[in-house]
């Protein structure tokens, strides 16, 4: 009995002879066209997700029980269950891929080495990526994850983070990837990243998000240009604010005027509260940097480099202001 088909692969490969014996990352991506009936099941699939695609290898010979591995007759025959041959009693293919694009019910994935017209019988999240210390969650795009880890490390090296304070995030479609609570920013690993739903804040991974999640969510919700956020506790800027000597960064320097115009401040609110998140979110509509009195600095950017770079500029100017 054939399983229920949920979609079809649209591939440049048209015959078994053209298919590589193992996943070939040099191949172009292919498309999976899902059947309309399964639209509700695909609602949460997003670009960047790691998924397992199960196919029905309809051209396979279901009578085969032994074969030459990789079709190489110079190799001794082996039982079919110890090979990945498409010829097998139940010809189910298992493919670890990432979603590179999405157009409605069409998913662009890579690498998937099956012939055009191959039926798709199921899709699952690739939770196996959580088992390796060098792998990100199936919900974290590797480029996003690496950008967060690198920014946290760079900020720590520049003294913007100390110990376990601060947090870093990036928007990934309708999700937010953010550093975990209690994580040391100078020593992050893939398991220190949490994923939450942007609209509701619902956690999508078992990793607990930073206590300042509300700030990040409100900035993304209020400012469509925000794609990355860096929240630091910059010692010079904090020390300058405690002097209470008027506006922050009131310097007769060209750079001072340029960057001071990007900065505003909000009154003190208890960290981690909705009130703080709402105050910073509203301020982010007009400013790229928000100083939270008695707490720290939040910088947004269209890229992680912009967000971190603005944090560095403001801390550098604070150092100059303190020496006046």
pLDDT at 240 over 90: no
pLDDT at 257 over 80: no
Answer for the pair 52, 127: CB distance below 8 angstroms, yes or no.
Answer: no
Distance, in Å, from the CA atom of 116 to the CA atom of 2, rounded to the nearest integer, reads 18
Arch. (CATH architecture) of 142-322: 3-Layer(aba) Sandwich (3.40)
pLDDT at 131 over 50: no
The 10s digit of each residue's pLDDT in 291-321 is 999 999 999 999 999 999 999 999 988 888 7
Pick left, alpha or beta for residue 237 (phi over 0 → left; psi -120 to 50 → alpha; otherwise beta).
Answer: alpha
Give the mean pLDDT of the chain.
Answer: 87
User: What was the pLDDT predicted at 86?
Assistant: 84
User: What was the pLDDT predicted at 24?
Assistant: 58
Arch. (CATH architecture) of 7-125: Beta Barrel (2.40)
Instruction: Tell the burial category of 166 from Cβ atoms under 10 Å away from its Cβ (0-12, 13-18, 19+).
Output: buried
Helix spans in 77-223 (H): 142-157, 213-222
pLDDT at 22 over 80: no
Reply yes or no on whether 135 is catalytic.
no
Q: How many helices (H) and strands (E) does the chain have?
A: 6, 15
- Residue spans of the domains in the chain: they are 7-125, 142-322
> 113, 212, 218, 313: which is the annotated catalytic residue?
212
User: What was the pLDDT predicted at 96?
Assistant: 86
């Amino acid at each position: 009995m054939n399983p229920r088909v949920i979609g079809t692969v649209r591939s440049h490969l048209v015959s078994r002879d053209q298919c590589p014996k193992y996943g070939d990352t040099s191949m172009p991506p292919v498309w999976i066209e899902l059947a309309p009936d399964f639209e509700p099941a695909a609602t949460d699939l997003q670009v960047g997700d790691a998924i397992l695609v199960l196919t029905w290898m309809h051209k396979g010979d279901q009578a085969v029980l032994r074969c030459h591995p990789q079709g190489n007759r110079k190799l001794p025959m082996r039982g079919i269950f110890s090979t990945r041959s498409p010829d097998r009693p139940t010809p189910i293919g298992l493919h670890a891929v990432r979603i590179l694009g999405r157009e409605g019910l069409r998913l662009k994935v890579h690498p998937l080495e099956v012939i055009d017209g191959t039926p798709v019988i199921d899709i699952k999240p690739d939770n196996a990526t959580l088992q390796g210390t060098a792998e990100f969650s199936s919900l974290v795009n590797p480029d996003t994850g690496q950008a967060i880890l690198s920014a946290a490390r760079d900020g720590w090296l520049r003294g913007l983070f100390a110990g376990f304070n601060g947090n870093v995030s990036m928007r990934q479609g309708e999700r937010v990837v953010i550093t975990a609570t209690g994580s040391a920013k100078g020593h992050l690993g893939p398991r220190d990243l949490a994923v939450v739903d942007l609209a509701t804040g619902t956690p999508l991974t078992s990793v607990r998000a930073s206590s300042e999640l509300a700030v990040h969510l409100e900035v993304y919700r209020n400012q469509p240009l925000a794609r990355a956020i860096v929240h630091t506790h910059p010692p010079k800027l904090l020390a300058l604010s405690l002097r209470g000597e008027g506006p922050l960064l009131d310097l007769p320097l060209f750079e001072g005027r340029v960057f001071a115009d990007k900065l505003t401040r909000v009154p003190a609110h208890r960290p981690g509260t909705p009130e703080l998140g709402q105050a910073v979110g509203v301020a982010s509509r007009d400013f790229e940097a928000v100083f939270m009195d008695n707490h720290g600095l939040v910088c947004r950017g269209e890229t992680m480099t912009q967000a971190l770079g603005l944090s560095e500029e403001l801390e550098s100017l604070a150092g100059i202001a303190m020496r006046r």
